[in-house]
Structure 1
Amino acid sequence: MTNYRRAQIKGGTYFFTLACATRTNNSVLTDNISALRHAFRKVKSTHPFTIDAIVILPEHLHCVWTLPPNDADFGIRWSLIKSGFSRQLAPSEKCSQSRQKRKERGIWQRRFWEHVIRDDEDYARHIDYIHWNPVKHGLVKQVKDWPYSSFHQYVKNNVYRQDWASIDEFYGIGTE
C-alpha cells in the first residue's frame, strides 16, 4: 500500500474534493442531502471545524474547511462523515470483493483530494471554483440556481452578487 503524504497543519484551511465510487448516472448525494447534512452536523459536534464554502453535486462534493487552532486531523472527520452518511442509506450499491472483505460500502471512493490553502488569492480562487462547479458540470446555467451550495450564504453576506457567474457570462453571450 502506498503511504500518502498529506500536509497536516494545525488550524489550517484546506480545499477538498470527495467523490462517490460510481460517478456516472449517480445522484446519491443530492438524493440524500438530508442524510449528508446530518452526517456533517454530527461530526462537527464532536470534531469541530468551519465550513468556509461547500457545494454538493450529485456524485461528488467540494469544500473549504478551516480546522481549530490545535487540530490538523481532517482525515478522521472525513472518515466519520463518509461512514455516517453511508450507514443512513439502505445497501443497494455494488460492492467489490475487496470492499466486502474490508466491510466497506461501495458509496464513496476510498480516498479524497486535499489541498492546503496558501494565501488569500488561493482561498478566493478555490471559493470561486466551488461555487462555479454546478455550472461547469452543466447542472444549471447560473450559479444562483444550484440549491446545494454555500453561494447563497455568500450572497447574503454581500461577498457575491446574486447574478454572479452564469454560463452566458462565461462565454460572453449577451454581453457587449
Structure 2
Amino acid sequence: MNALPQRKPLGHEIPSWVRDGEIYFITICAENRAARPLIQGTIAHNLLESVAYLNDHDQWFARLFLVMPDHVHGLISFRADNSMPRRITAWKSFTTKQFGVKWQDRFFDHRLRRDESLDEKAHYIRMNPVRAGLVDAPEKWPHVLDGYKRLG
C-alpha cells in the first residue's frame, strides 16, 4: 500500500518583498467548534474589544473583524516590524488567558493581491452569519468590528 504524501505546513512569515500594510484575510478556529464557544456569555464582545485595543495601539489594523460561533474572520494589516505569526499567537494567548478561549493550533491567512477585491472579501465575511442561518441580514449580526468605526 502506498503511503499518502504528508502535507508540509506553510509558514506564516511575511516575505521581505511584501509591502508594509498589505491586507490579509485571516481565519482562526476555536478548538471545540461544536460547542460554539465564541458566542457564549461576553466572549464575542471581549474578543472584539481586544481587537479594537490592538488597532488603537498600532499592533495591527483590523479593517473588519467578525466573530462567528466557532471561528473568527478578519481583514488585517500588519506592520513589517510586527510579524503576523507572532502578533496572532500573542492575541490567541491573551484571549486564552483572559477569556478562556481555546483555539486550534494553526490559523489560515491569505494575502489579498491587486486583482482581488477587498470589497468581495469584506462581503464574504459579513455574509458568513447569513449563510450559517444565524441572521437574515448581515447588519443584524452583532459580533463584528468595522475598523473604520468604533465599538458602540
Query: Normalising by structure 1, what TM-score?
Result: 0.66
Residue 108 of structure 2 corresponds to residue 113 of structure 1: yes
Q: Which deviations, in whole Å up to 9, do the C-alpha atoms of 1:54-83 show, x marking residues without a partner? A: 111111010101223x33611111111111
Taking the aligned partners of 2:107 and 2:56, their CA distance within structure 1 comes to: 22
Structure with greater strand percent = 2
Match of 2:4 in 1: none
Deviation at residue 29 of structure 1 after TM alignment:
1.7
CA distance, structure 2, for counterparts of residue 18 and residue 77 of structure 1: 13
Tell me, what secondary structure is at the counterpart of 2:117? Answer: helix
Residue 152 of structure 1 deviates from its aligned partner by: 10
Change (3 A) 1:109 1:43: same
Q: Which residue of 2 is the match for residue 89 of structure 1?
A: 99
Aligned equivalent of 2:71, options 45, 60, 75: 60
User: Residue type matched to 1:131 in 2?
Assistant: R
Residue 16 (structure 1) aligns with: 26
Count how many residue pairs are aligned between Structure 1 and Structure 2.
137
In structure 2, distance between residues paired with 1:49 and 1:134: 24
Q: Which residue of 2 aligns with 1:4?
A: 10
Query: Which structure is higher in RCO with an 8 Å CA cutoff and minimum separation 6?
Result: 2
CA contact (8 A) 1:7 1:116 kept: no
Aligned AA (2:134):
L
Deviates more, 1:40-49 or 1:123-132: 40-49
- Quote the RMSD (CA, aligned, Å): 2.8
Tell me the TM-score normalised to structure 2 length: 0.75
Q: What percentage of aligned pairs have identical amino acids?
A: 24
Compute the displacement of 1:127 (Å).
0.8
Give the letter aligned to residue 119 of structure 1.
R
Say if 1:149 and 1:35 are closer, same or farther in 2 by CA, change over 3 A.
closer
Q: Give the equivalent residue in structure 2 for 1:30.
A: 39
AA of the residue aligned to 2:67: I
